[in-house]
Chains A and B, each alone.
Chain A
Amino acid sequence: MNLNAKIPEGPIENKWENHKFRIKLVNPSNRRKYNVIIVGSGLAGASAAATLGELGYNVKCFCYQDSPRRAHSIAAQGGINAAKNYQNDGDSVHRLFYDTIKGGDFRSREANVHRLAELSVNIIDQCVAQGVPFAREYGGLLANRSFGGAQVSRTFYARGQTGQQLLLGAYSALSKQISTGQVQMYTRHEMLDLVLVDDHAKGIITRNLISGEIDAWSADAVILATGGYSNVFFLSTNATGCNVTASYRAYKKGAGFANPCYTQIHPTCIPQSGGHQSKLTLMSESLRNDGRVWVPLNKNDCQSDPRSISDENRDYYLERKYPSFGNLAPRDISSRSAKEVCDEGRGVGPGNRGVYLDFADAISRHGENTIAEKYGNLFDMYERITGENAYKRPMRIYPAPHYTMGGLWVDYNLMSTIPGCFVMGEANFSDHGANRLGASALMQGLADGYFVLPYTLANYLAEVGANKPDPEGEQFKTAKKSVNDQTKKLLSINGNRTVRSFHIELGQIMWNKCGMARNEKGLTEAISQISSLREQFWSDVKVTGKDSDLNQELERAGRVVDFLEFGELLCRDALNRKESCGGHFREEYQSHEGEAERDDENFSHASVWEYKGEKETPIKHKEELEFNVVKPSVRSYK
């Protein structure tokens, strides 16, 4: 497996500028000769489809929802980072770069992160021009707020609906291209395989979710913007439809999968209330700007009314352990700290799995109206779900799977190890290392889609020339057949267990043994449990209905098939990485204070997994990470 990251020469500040000049262009009149497939219509997919369409390429964009506007980017609440330094508080491209590298626990690629920080400023400009109604001050200028892992205010936001507004901006730009015919949009289509011709990605196989038809589509390049895999845990903050299928099928066709064990458990979610639960709901991290996190100092107080517990009997554990960042400690650290206090028996709410996020001080300081203006929709959402009023009593929160930093390996050009197969946004691995900072996912999705891929794709297309194969060709027929075979097999088993029950069981294994804390014994057990669960699935699953129809059970079954294989890969990677870093916490590797302990000597690399066949163990390859600008140090937020 060739893992040449193709990082451009020169000082880090000039790499992207130099690269843009050196790479090839496709001239405007030749662009119409090229056909591009984009899978996914979230921030990355929609922004790339809009931009490539506008440049004159023929674009086909696919999504499984009924409209591109529904992709899960829409649910991001808090904000988007940009190194504008509008607050004059010492921010700069370099500081955003530094914060992101440090936040990622020195496991990301310097050159990519620097480019991301540079492009962050363009994103804000672009979105403002599209009519995204970012929050503003009375003077008419853009407002900012702080987010975890940073000591400057660089987060731009649109109430608690920033993801929605940014996605609707990208969707509107996409809609314009659809209206001109430059982009053809295929909704309710799910990608089920990637097709290679002469080792280059040249097309995809989809299932039409309404008619059940399996179709082959060919192109000059395929771009995956298919999001993350948090739903491997069954309960996560992702939309119920989010899945790993597109990425995993590309992996099985030869794309390296990097760092699957880097999963982010978000500290501020509404705790689980019972076995009926189908998803967990996030409360934006921005709440930690004004909310104080605490648990009772004494176990005996856990069932008491929180308002009756006096200040000296409360443990504001984040402020105590991390005085300089306090409640704004990064996500991995906050989540782990919440788990620790709950493990000590000091958790609150059902099953003692929860901590308080308290707004009483902020309300007495600023008044209820100010707090309502900032977070009103979140407080309302909390009340709808829990039936409790957070203006009157502290919220209960607990960590939940939220984002995945791992993903398909890409080089500096966002191309996977399969030539012609590009990967953007959460689906790739490159920018967040072992932990993503808040408000950086939106930034990365849009940077990739608006400003990186349109350049780097042109370079590839110019190199290979326009050469779209016939979708009736041999490779397409074979891929279609294997998709059809799997569908038939799923429908023919007619066993006793529902698809959902398998997904729930897989999620429990993953959460208990490969969640916030992992160890060798648990991971080894998980691998064998998942493998036997998979066997059981293929002999005892029950999928109702037909393949030639709208069949949501069949859709779910196909996704769970891939999660059942992928979960094992995730555990394997976690077992292999004998260190703790960011979201990956191995109990064997921690300081005496319980902080994550990295092993830079042996693990300063991206682990990239190569698929070797159904019965074979995947092979690990390494991309060594070089730190020329920021020297890796112990990541301290104290």
Chain B
Amino acid sequence: MRLKLKVWRQKDQLDSGRLVDYQMDNISEDSSFLEMLDLLNESLVEKGDEPIAFDHDCREGICGMCSLTINGIPHGPEKLTTACQLHMRSFKNGETITIEPFRSKPFKITKDLIVDRSAFDKIIEAGGFISVRTGSAPDGNAIPISKSDSDYAMDAAACIGCAACVAACKNSSAMLFTSAKISQLNSLPQGKPEKDRRLLSMVSEMDRSGFGNCTNYGECHAVCPKGISVDFIANLNRDYAKASVKNLLKTIG
């Protein structure tokens, strides 16, 4: 395949950045998108130019490290597919492909296509856990959990924390990510004791980090490589209202 690439190059956080054109020839349809970038980088290095910096690690769609906006869509054109699992057979010969980082206000661009997503870790640190001391757990079968509840928790837990949802959202909202973690933990009996506390704390951290609110566009779900459902956001909104009222009543006494 023959392709024209327009790739975002930015030296560091302070640089203003620009799209740079590259021509690629003889690309195999069986090659993955990142392997195509590997080949481009090899040719840049051979010429003595700096290769394009981009994040990647497992290359099997589970670590959440890759973070490319391809032709304006986070992770590119294929549904339920991370950029690392995208293959060149999804593109046409002669096509022009634009590659940019995941853009959103809370994620600063570190270099080229690499962004800083540490705000996601902060949201988890605010309450994305069940407080259980190592060694103090009861037997795994002590609390039966219905298959449907367990499946629901697993659907939510499948999130890989890539942040495509934020990059796709015009409000830079992290509601899909946050609601998925909260839904997983709050739906399980183990997570119930910290339910409200977890929810309020994670939402407030989300606001503090500068993520916007959800206005029900659903772009997040459309680009999510794991198909995380927007229903989790609805649940979060409902539970947030309940928890806030409970909290308010407590303060009034």
Contacts and interface: CB of A to CB of B under 8 A. Distances in A.
Q: Do A and B come from one complex?
A: yes
Interface of A: 47, 50-51, 54, 65-72, 74-75, 84, 86, 122, 124-131, 133-142, 158-159, 161, 163-165, 168, 171-173, 175-176, 178-179, 185, 187, 210, 237, 239-241, 273-274, 276-279, 281-282, 380-381, 384-385, 387, 450-451, 454, 496, 498-501, 542, 544-545, 549-550, 552-553
Contacts of B245: none
Given A66-B116, A140-B146, A175-B125, 16 more contacts: A66-B118, A67-B117, A130-B130, A131-B185, A133-B150, A133-B153, A138-B146, A141-B141, A164-B62, A173-B129, A176-B129, A278-B34, A384-B61, A387-B89, A544-B50, A544-B51
30 contacts: A65-B57, A65-B63, A70-B63, A70-B65, A74-B63, A84-B141, A128-B143, A130-B132, A133-B151, A138-B147, A140-B145, A141-B144, A158-B157, A159-B154, A164-B62, A164-B160, A165-B154, A179-B125, A210-B110, A273-B28, A278-B35, A381-B61, A381-B85, A387-B89, A454-B134, A501-B42, A542-B45, A542-B48, A544-B48, A544-B49
Interface string B108-141: 0011001011101100111011111111111111
A426 to B, nearest CB: 15
B153 A84 contact: no
A360 B153 CA distance: 31
Contact of A124 (B80, B81, B125, B140): B140
A133 B188 contact: yes
B144 A553 contact: no
A133 B89 contact: no
Interface residues of B, number: 81
Contact of A129 (B30, B56, B78, B137): B137
B161 interface: yes
Given A54-B134, A175-B124, A67 B161 contact: yes
B25 interface: no
B150 A276 contact: no
A359 to B, nearest CB: 20
B110 A550 contact: yes
B143 to A, nearest CB: 8
A67 B110 contact: no
Nearest to A72: B58
Interface string B1-32: 00000000000100000000000000110111
A545 B49 CA distance: 8
B interface, by DSSP: helix, strand, loop or mixed? Answer: loop
A141 B59 CA distance: 34
A118 B55 CA distance: 39
Contacts of B46: 496, 498, 542
Contact of A137 (B38, B147, B158): B147
Contacts of A451: 134-135
B130 A129 contact: yes
B150 to A, nearest CB: 4
A387 B138 CA distance: 45
Contacts of B134: 47, 50-51, 54, 126, 173, 450-451, 454
Given A65-B65, A450-B134, A133 B154 contact: yes
A140 B63 contact: no
A136 B80 contact: no
Contacts of A500: 38, 42
Nearest to B26: A276
B57 A172 contact: no
B184 interface: yes
Contact of B62 (A67, A74, A278, A542): A74
A524 B104 CA distance: 54
A69 B60 contact: no
A279 B65 CA distance: 15
Nearest to A187: B118
A74 B81 CA distance: 17
Given A75-B62, A498-B42, A131 B190 contact: yes
B125 A122 contact: no
B147 A274 contact: no
A176 B131 contact: yes
Contacts of A171: 124
B87 interface: yes
B31 A129 contact: no
Contacts of A277: 31, 35
B129 A240 contact: no
B39 interface: yes
B53 interface: yes
A136 B189 CA distance: 14
B74 to A, nearest CB: 16
Contacts of B42: 498, 500-501
Contacts of A549: 12, 111
A276 B50 contact: no
A163 B120 CA distance: 20
Nearest to B158: A161
Contacts of B78: 384
Contact of B63 (A51, A141, A239, A380): A239
A133 B48 CA distance: 49
A164 B159 CA distance: 10
A404 to B, nearest CB: 17
Nearest to B60: A281
Contacts of A454: 134
A101 to B, nearest CB: 25
B64 A125 contact: no
B210 interface: no
Contacts of A176: 125, 129, 131
